[in-house]
Amino acid sequence: MTLTDQKNWIDGALGAQPRKYPERKDSFRTSSGIEVPDVALPADPDPAYAEKLGLPGEYPYTRGIRPTMYRGRLWTMRQYAGYATAEETNRRFRYLLENGQTGLSVAFDLPTQIGYDADHPLAAGEVGRVGASVSSLDDMLRLFDGLPLDQVSTSMTINAPAAVLLAMYVAAAKRQGVEIANLRGTVQNDVLKEYVARGTYIFPAAPSMRLVTDVFQYCAREIPNWNTISISGYHIREAGADAVQELAFTLVNAIAYVEAALAAGLHVDDFAPQLSFFFAAHNNLLEEVAKFRAARRLWARIMNERFGAQKPASLKLRFHAQTAGSTLTAQQPENNAARVTLQALAAVLGGTQSLHTNGMDEALCLPTEKSVRVALRTQQIIAHESGAADTIDPLAGSYFVEGLTDEIERRVVGIIQAVDSLGGALAAIEQGYIQEQIQQSAYETARAVETGEQVVVGVNKFRTQEDIPLEHLKVDPAIEAAQKAKLQALRERRDRGRAAELLARLESAARGTDNLVPLFVEMVENDVTLGEICGVLRGVWGEYVAKGF
């Protein structure tokens, strides 16, 4: 590809000059008035090298999934939030939106994540502690009260019971009078990483995969703009994996989901455009950029060469990034603002579609309004002041970044081949291979920090003695009692006969093969609770018990 060919391609892809970007601005210049090009090109490119690099929006999408990337529109600024009750979380959502957030992201409490109602004995002491307590459609309605669901994009970090929470969201939208086909957002729905990295699983693998593919099928038919899964490397990285392992194990899980969907009778191009990914952004700036670029290239080739996908949308890896919670330190917490800035910049330079930035105080407590505002402002400063978003894939052609992208790809391919030789992701999980690899990496990192080989500023070097005043949020113990009272009132006022009938239908359906999501929608609309639904499924399918390795 000659320089002329590249310029012609850019003009064809982006439109003739002068180009307009109505969501941003008509032209981009440095502080010195130097014009910033859409895509930087070498003055005298080697044709073979230029061909290898390709261009944004062009297969295999190393340089980005859209020709215009952030020239056309910025990434979605989606701060993760969930605090105690639906009402408190709704207030936090409104605060973030007022401060310029462009998408919602829901954190649920632990009982919700593992399918228990707030009044279940095993939920005692955990209601509202690490996110919002959502047991019923009433909770979901309060969570999004006054927020038009046809105008806002919502991500929900929920996995084992994801299909039920999606049903609640659909039912809430219907109560608002919203056409569900117009909903936009994501349900994480990634249970495989729960078995190896996070632990909020409920059911054994086979029925869990059925729920995943039921969501694929339902959304392909009913909610075409919804991301049916967010295949997560973030939690794998937080558990101790390195960058290569994070990407490799995410992709082997993704392969398993595609295979499960195909086995369920779905066509690859019907569901693949609605798959999305979730990665961590860590401190090593250039490695993280290279990881994101390699991820796009690998996924495009996997979908094209392994699964024969034909639609361009099936080949494009779209991802959300979150700055790395595991890198935040309780010591000198102000330093975390610098860490988060570097990590967010890596995600932007790597071409993320959506980004969450952590609060500086998260190693100590739930983030305050001030800390989440600073975290959001970090994204806004990168977007509007740094110039990083003014040209597309600005680090392309860097000898180091390109070489690192190639090396990460080579190592990831090796791990994928190793997992394939074991029989795929499910077999590798059952054999403990993935868990052992993550644990070994976590041990090596901890040892390096303990010996000082890996410097953590303020922890093992440049330490100071300080008292840290905490302006922290506390979860009122009375919240649990209030949630229990709401559930009791709901069960008393609902049609008990109808609820019993639906639960009996679910038991029968769980033993069959029909898609369960429409039934979940009907159940939550009739005030059947999350815990009651998951309780029936536990009775039919049993619970997953982790093996010791």
Lowest mean pLDDT among 25-29, 309-313, 346-350, 440-444: 25-29
Establish if 211 belongs to a structural domain: yes
Tell whether 43 and 91 lie within a shared domain: no
Tell whether 31 and 101 lie within a shared domain: no
Tell whether 130 and 169 lie within a shared domain: yes
Number of domains present in the structure of the chain:
2
Tell whether 149 and 231 lie within a shared domain: yes
Tell whether 169 and 207 lie within a shared domain: yes
Tell whether 377 and 327 lie within a shared domain: yes
Establish if 312 belongs to a structural domain: yes
Q: How confident is the model at residue 293 (pLDDT cuts 50, 70, 90)?
A: very high
Is the omega angle on the peptide bond into residue 60 within 30 degrees of 0, that is, cis? yes
Tell whether 88 and 229 lie within a shared domain: yes
Establish if 501 belongs to a structural domain: no
Last residue of a domain, one of 451, 477, 498: 451
Q: Are 185 and 165 in contact (CB under 8 A)?
A: no
pLDDT at 470 over 80: no
Domain hosting 223: range is 69-359+371-451
Establish if 523 belongs to a structural domain: no
Establish if 91 belongs to a structural domain: yes
Establish if 366 belongs to a structural domain: no
Tell whether 249 and 301 lie within a shared domain: yes
Antiparallel, parallel or unpaired: β 229-232 and 226-227: unpaired
**Which helix H or strand E contains 105, and what residues bound it?**
strand 103-107
| pLDDT single digits (tens) 211-246 | 999 999 999 999 999 999 999 999 999 999 999 999
How large is the C-alpha radius of gyration of the chain?
23
Q: Between residues 515 and 369, which one has the greater pLDDT?
A: 515
Backbone angles phi, psi at 368, to 5 degrees: -80, 170
Last residue of a domain, one of 419, 451, 483: 451
Tell whether 44 and 168 lie within a shared domain: no
In whole angstroms, give the CA distance from residue 485 to residue 478. Answer: 11
Residue 121 neighbours by CB distance under 10 Å: 6
Tell whether 116 and 32 lie within a shared domain: no
| pLDDT single digits (tens) 55-89 | 899 999 999 999 989 988 999 999 888 888 999 99
In whole angstroms, give the CA distance from residue 6 to residue 11. Answer: 9
- CATH assignment at residue 439: 3.20.20.240
Task: Name the token pair of 272.
Answer: 């693949």
Tell whether 351 and 242 lie within a shared domain: yes
Last residue of a domain, one of 451, 476, 503: 451
Establish if 467 belongs to a structural domain: no
Establish if 459 belongs to a structural domain: no
| pLDDT single digits (tens) 356-392 | 999 999 998 878 889 999 999 999 999 999 999 999 9
Mean pLDDT of the chain: 92
Q: Please give the pLDDT value at position 190.
A: 98
Tell whether 328 and 375 lie within a shared domain: yes
